[in-house]
Chain A
Amino acid sequence: MNMQPPYQAPYPPQQVYDYEFDDAQNATIASAALWARVLGVVMIVVGVASLLNCNVITLIINLIVGVNLLGGGSSLSMVVSTQGNDIAHMMQAIGKLGSAFKTRVIATLIGLVLICLFFAVVFVLAIAGAASSR
């Protein structure tokens, strides 16, 4: 009466529950992979070109975002070109694209704070100048 062997899965549970995207879904993912990689390359090129204006900050931000977009695009194309590990590749892509968005958001917020600080300093200096001239 050994009933245990029939219930034991012969393969790991993750293999059993893995999902395989169909052709229509693969076409959508392939399109996203293509444009993510194109945008990544363009961002890196624009970042390198910004060195002509000695703009190192743009170079660093564009490099980080571009590399993450390239990585995300590669993971998305792996979803299409490989079989048996689609969800893992998709999660990798989502993680890398999330890092790209995070970098952009943080850089924009820091830029906004710096602009506000600049105007605040100019405003304070203008008031101080006006007060001392009286």
Chain B
Amino acid sequence: MSSMSPVYVLVMQPMGYAPQMPMQQAAGYEFNEVENGAIANTAKFARIWGWISLVSGVLLLGMSLLVIFALAAMFATMHSSGSMPSALSTAKITALGLSLLPSSVVSILGGIFYISSGSSLYRVVTTQGNDIPLLMDAVKQLSRAFMIEAIAMIVSFVLGLAIGLMNMGGTT
């Protein structure tokens, strides 16, 4: 009987240990309940923030187009009839409208990427067998949203600083 024991060990060892890790790597990773809870929470807020960004971007775009076309046309008519102060020229109103366009485009694009990222994260929670590819898709969308937002913030910050310094130089 004692001579059979090593045979058992030799037979059972590969089944007990060896296949587990390669199989897990090949099949990917399945997030557990606790991890799914944290991912679902982030997905929820990423999607809400995406919708806020998207809606505010669309509103800003509408306002921008209204300023560019409707107000500029109205003020052009008033200007030609001489009933408008010369400080509010059509070119200035159009420039004001155009300055709103980049912000609206950034908000819309950022919103789309945040919503997409949140949806991928949500699918990580709701589906099985494809968690890692879905997570990577979410990370890719988040990366794009962060990049767009960071570049837009840097550009607007530098422009704002330059305009502020120019105004200070003009007043002194």
Given known A28-B140, A29-B139, A42-B153, contact A101–B146 (CB-CB < 8 A): no
- Per-residue CB contact flags for chain B residues 144-158 toward chain A (1 = under 8 Å, else 0) read 001101100110010
A25: CB under 8 A from chain B?
Answer: yes
Residues on B with C-beta less than 8 A from A69 are: 146
The residues of B that contact A101 with a CB separation of less than 8 Å are: 42, 45-46, 48-49, 114
Shortest distance from the beta carbon of B59 to any chain A beta carbon, whole Å: 12
Q: Is the CB of A35 within 8 A of B49?
A: no
What 19 additional pairs, Cβ within 8 angstroms, besides A7-B12, A35-B147? A1-B5, A5-B9, A7-B16, A16-B20, A17-B24, A19-B29, A20-B25, A25-B132, A29-B136, A29-B139, A32-B139, A42-B153, A49-B161, A87-B35, A94-B121, A101-B49, A104-B45, A104-B52, A105-B49
Q: Are the CB atoms of A43 and B153 closer together than 8 Å?
A: yes
Q: How far, in Å, is A92 (CB) from chain B's closest CB?
A: 9
The CA of A91 and the CA of B121, in the complex, are separated in Å by: 12
Chain B residues closer than 8 Å to A1, beta-carbon distance: 1, 5, 8
Indicate whether A46 reaches chain B with its CB closer than 8 angstroms. Answer: yes
Question: Which chain B residue has the least Cβ–Cβ distance from A76?
Answer: B139
Q: Please tell me if the beta carbons of A102 and B139 are within 8 angstroms of each other in the complex.
A: no
Q: Which parts of A92-113 form the interface with B (CB within 8 Å)?
A: 94-95, 97-98, 101-102, 104-105, 108
Distance between Cα atoms of A92 and B105 in the complex (Å): 31
B29 interface neighbour in A31, A87, A95, Cβ under 8 Å: A87
Residues on B with C-beta less than 8 A from A28 are 136, 139-140, 143
CA distance A19 to B23 in the complex (A): 11
Interface of A toward B, CB cutoff 8 Å: 1-3, 5-7, 9-10, 16-17, 19-21, 25, 28-29, 31-32, 35-36, 38-39, 42-43, 45-46, 49, 69, 76, 87, 90-91, 94-95, 97-98, 101-102, 104-105, 108
Contact, CB under 8 Å: B9 / A98:
no
Chain B residues near A (Cβ < 8 Å): 1, 5, 8-9, 12-13, 16-17, 20-21, 24-25, 28-29, 31, 35, 38-39, 41-42, 45-46, 48-49, 52, 114, 121, 132, 135-136, 139-140, 142-143, 146-147, 149-150, 153-154, 157, 161
